[in-house]
Amino acid sequence: MIGMRVSTVEQMHNLDKNAIEKYGIEDKLLMENAAHAVYFVILKHLGDVKNKKFVVFAGPGNNGGDALTVSRKLYSNGADVKIYLLSEPTKYKNAARMNYEIVERIGIPMERFYGDSAMVRMNVDAADAIIDGIFGTGISRNIEGIYAEAIKIINESGKIVFSIDIPSGVNGNTGKIMGIAVRANYTVTFGLPKIGNILYPGYEYCGKLYVSRISFPPKNYENDEISIFINTPVKLPPRKKDGHKGTFGDVLFISGARKYYGAPYFSALSFLKAGGGYSRLATAKSVVPFIGSEGREIVFHPLEETEDGSISYTSKEEIIKIANTVDFVVLGPGTSLNERTQKLLVDLLLSIEKPVLVDGDGLTALSKNVNVLNERKHATVLTPHPGEMARLTNLEIREILDNRIEVARGFAKEHGVIIVLKGAHTQIACPDGKVYINMSGNSGMATAGSGDVLTGAIAAMYTLGLGLENGVRMGVFVHGLAGDLAAERKGKDGITARDIMEKLPFAMKLLREKFEEVKSKYSLEVV
């Protein structure tokens, strides 16, 4: 199971064009279907619209045409509708022009919006809900003038807001706020969700997000050229009733140094908490006593250490020997920035003939020469946060944040690795160009050690038999699900890595016993 596709703005324009030219679905019909989907969502949340008051803000393009069409549907079912136009009607073309003329002939109250005024505020204050059809997904510059004033009025109104396709002011390709944006309660997007609907902060501005296919045939939107997907969970393999600890995976964690005790502990123990069988920790020998009493289930491999208390380069051959006996290796969490240890990490990456996940200080070591990745003959997974991704790519952090998907995808393809770019709605980029956007997790997980729990979860999903791509996807999903369970119990403030780790078994239990329910919760609703 791959998940719903997510399109760029340009890809959606092509889908619209294809629907019209190949399938003969005229733009008038697409606009009617879009409006019907919005109307259906309004009914779902407000009930019968008869005698309810709506204020509609209609912009100059097709988004405004959609808003006018919604207005007509509301009006024909007894609603009191007031439309504010944010441009000259002459700017409407084709289907939008047709619907403007219909609305004009019907006699729905409609006037130009020239800016904030007492009359506009009075109408907004009297409304039961507001329809936002100012801008669609194609906005590329910051919003100013009367458009910004209209959005400010909407946001200050305290009314229920329904946005058409995307909240006005959200960039459809990045989720970035273009100066100011509508904060919607509900958004209905068309054909496929756009990147800006899914990535933060745009996702938050959407409120509850719905998708309408607007009568596209599946061949139109199940298009292989669109290679970004919602990270829909896959079913876990059944646990063998006669299995032993080796059946459920044997993983080596090369992690830890003096003063860095949390990373080795959380990564190695989280593997077990997520269902893994045999967890080995190769770490500086002075680290073992500090975490041994807490992590008795972990098998320790004490190693010689530097004066700084980090793993000594002299341990290289011993580590390689252990690595050759396991199924998967995690390299780098909390290993320190000691120069010799950093060199050790790179040389181990080149020498270990097993799938390897690189995290933390391992990413710092790798950033000095990322081309070593192309020399590896076995699968590699990197789990950077935006700062680490900036070091790996020599880009500014702002460039990473503004273009997360393409940066991750480009790096994954160039170096033949899987990139897990951590953050709200983490992205998983694969060497073949596919990108998955994860929907589980919450802001409370932005806490020290959370990433170490993630490495353990990914390792467990791989060794349980999901394969590498699905294993990484499910590791990210399970980690987020555990964080959501922790937040349900404690709230988002004050969640720790331990809280997330302790919820991993419960997350696994939910996935095994209530898979469809979990999948539905983290999927977008189609209307």
Positive/negative CA dihedral, 470, 473, 476, 477: negative
pLDDT at 232: 97
> Which helix (H) or strand (E) segment is 451 a member of?
helix 450-461
Q: DSSP secondary-structure letter at 212?
A: E
- C-alpha 13/C-alpha 166 separation (Å) is 15
- C-alpha 136/C-alpha 133 separation (Å) is 7
- Phi-psi region at 77: left, alpha or beta (left = phi > 0; alpha = psi -120 to 50): alpha
Concatenate the DSSP letters of all residues of 238-285 into one string: PPPTT--GGGG-EEEEE--BTTB-HHHHHHHHHHHHTT-SEEEEEEET
pLDDT at 243: 78
Which contacts of 75-78 are long-range, i.e. CB under 8 A and separated by 24 or more positions? 75/106, 75/108, 77/49, 77/50, 78/49, 78/50, 78/51
240-288 per-position pLDDT tens digit? 888 777 788 999 999 999 999 999 999 999 999 999 999 999 999 999 9
> How many C-beta neighbours within 10 Å does residue 165 have?
29
Positive/negative CA dihedral, 82, 86, 91, 94: negative
Residue with tokens 């009493």: 293
> How many C-beta neighbours within 10 Å does residue 422 have?
23
pLDDT at 246: 78
* Residue 405, φ and ψ in degrees, nearest 5: -65, -50
pLDDT at 114: 95
DSSP β-bridge partners for residue 188: 164, 210
Amino acid at 223: N
- C-alpha 106/C-alpha 108 separation (Å) is 6
Concatenate the DSSP letters of all residues of 379-439 into one string: -EEE---HHHHHHHHT--HHHHHHTHHHHHHHHHHHHT-EEEE-STT-EEE-TTS-EEE--
- C-alpha 115/C-alpha 134 separation (Å) is 14
* Positions of the chain with pLDDT under 70: 1
pLDDT at 2: 82
Residue with tokens 């500014």: 396
pLDDT at 123: 98
pLDDT at 242: 83
> Which helix (H) or strand (E) segment is 31 a member of?
helix 27-46
